[in-house]
Amino acid sequence: MACSAKDVLGALSFKHDGCRERIYTALKDKQMLKNEEIENLSSKISSKYFYMTSSEYPRFLINELSCPPIVVYYKGDLSLLNKRDEFHYIGIVGSRDASDYGKKAVRDIVKELPKETVIVSGLAKGIDACAHTAAMDYGLKTIAVLGNGIDYIYPSENKEIYERILDQGGLILSEYPNLVKPKPDQFIFRNRIVAAISEFLLIGEAHERSGSSTTVNFALQAGKNIGCIPYPVGTKSLCNRLIKDGAALIESASDIMFEIGRK
pLDDT per position as a tens digit, 14-45: 999 999 999 999 999 988 899 999 999 999 99
Report the pLDDT averaged over residues 124-149: 98
Burial 85-112 (b: 16+ CB within 10 A, else e): eebbbbbbbbbbebeeebbebbbebbee
Domain count, the chain: 2
Q: Do 195 and 245 fall within a single domain?
A: yes
Q: Do 69 and 97 fall within a single domain?
A: no
Q: What's the confidence (pLDDT) of residue 263? A: 64
Domain range enclosing 29? 5-74
Q: Do 46 and 66 fall within a single domain?
A: yes
Report the pLDDT averaged over residues 192-204: 98
What pTM was computed for the model?
A: 0.96
What whole-number distance in Å separates Cα of residue 69 and Cα of residue 215?
Answer: 16
CATH code: domain of residue 162: 3.40.50.450
Region of 18 please: left (phi>0), alpha (psi -120 to 50) or beta.
left
Cis before 155? omega within 30: yes
Q: Do 182 and 196 fall within a single domain?
A: yes
Q: Do 114 and 225 fall within a single domain?
A: yes
pLDDT, tens only, 158-186 = 999 999 999 999 999 999 999 999 999 99
Residue 235: pLDDT band by 50, 70, 90 thresholds? confident
Phi, psi of 160 (to 5 degrees): -65, -40
Listed residues 48, 74, 100: the one ending a domain: 74
